[in-house]
Amino acid sequence: MSRRPEQSVADLVGRAREGDARSVGRLISLVEDESPLLREVMTALAPHAGHAHVVGITGSPGVGKSTSTSALVTELRAGGKRVGILAVDPSSPFSGGALLGDRVRMQEHALDPEVYIRSMASRGHLGGLAWTTPQALRVLDAAGCDVILVETVGVGQSEIEIAGLADTTVVLLAPGMGDGIQAAKAGILEIGDLYVVNKADRDGADQVRRDLRSMLALAQRPEGAWQPPIVATVAARGEGLDEVAAELEKHLAWLRSSGELAKRRTRRARDEIEAIAVTALRARWGDVHGRSELDDLAAAVGAGESDPYTAADELLATFTD
């Protein structure tokens, strides 16, 4: 890759705001690389963000997450929306590479200039998703995306984190993907704003909808709260995605009218600020007086010579000195 050496952050931000895909990609790379330029980038982008509807898409492997995302993009594009797609892989702190499988399934949108597709590894630092994802979202948001779809690979903690980052969380299910206990374990029944039963043409889809409906009915929701709808789709044939898009619009309208949108965005900002502050602190206490204070303390705790609370006190003391 050739880079123009004199390209300034202001140039890059300017072109990204005009919708230049390469500049958008370059800015997300800066996020991924934890570039020292990020501060300047984020300061420049912050006033231009806040327009995009951030939609998290979660579900166990095999429910058709990538196919559904791709079909939803087709639907949103038909409605004239500019779409960003962020595929986050929190389970791969090592490789840092792109998710070839997902990219392949997204090929049909690869040439559409109004669709930004980006795979991103969230590496192993404290904060994980909380650190990189909000910043990548800000880039896509400031670049004029109307909707940003955030898809995670894998299940577990990452789903909960995505729910914390998104304005709207879509939970995908499919028949034959394990029983109710499995679903309850994954905690997905507590995070969805919209439930999609994909592969609705298969045996057992009705049962999944019935189970889901009764489980959702058990949840105590206060008056005026959002009642998560259940939509049936066959993503591979593009069926039901119009209804998904319509429900996303409804949820966004509810978020606005209820004041919940501002609340969720404040929460997202809170997590992001905290992650940045903690990262700054870690950088400081990782290298105090030319050596790693934390490593010394950890060795003492590991050897049973100290305990972690005393060590944490000592760590904080070196910082405030």
Q: Which is nearer to its own copies, 136 or 231 (CB)?
A: 136
Residue 292 is given by DSSP the state: -
Q: How far is the CB of 242 from its own copies (least distance, A)?
A: 30
Q: How far is the CB of 85 from its own copies (least distance, A)?
A: 17
Q: Which is nearer to its own copies, 148 or 294 (CB)?
A: 294
Q: How far is the CB of 129 from its own copies (least distance, A)?
A: 8
Collapse the DSSP code of 112 into the 3-class scheme (helix H, G, I; strand E, B; otherwise coil) and give the result.
Answer: coil
b/e map 85-124, b = 16+ CB within 10 Å: bbbbbbbbeeeeeebeebeebbeebeeeebbbbbbbbbbe
Residue among 106, 111, 157, 167 at smallest CA distance from 134: 167
- Mapping DSSP onto H, E and C, the string for 3-48 reads CCCCCCHHHHHHHHHCCCHHHHHHHHHHHHCCCCCHHHHHHHHHHH
Q: Which is nearer to its own copies, 69 or 135 (CB)?
A: 135
H/E run at residue 231: strand 230-232
Q: Which is nearer to its own copies, 114 or 132 (CB)?
A: 132
Q: Which is nearer to its own copies, 236 or 301 (CB)?
A: 301
Q: How far is the CB of 224 from its own copies (least distance, A)?
A: 21
Residue 106 zone, left/alpha/beta (φ > 0; ψ -120 to 50; rest): alpha
Q: How far is the CB of 107 from its own copies (least distance, A)?
A: 16
Q: Which is nearer to its own copies, 43 or 214 (CB)?
A: 43
Only one residue has tokens 């501002």, namely 262
Q: How far is the CB of 279 from its own copies (least distance, A)?
A: 8
Per this entry, what is the length of the chain? 321
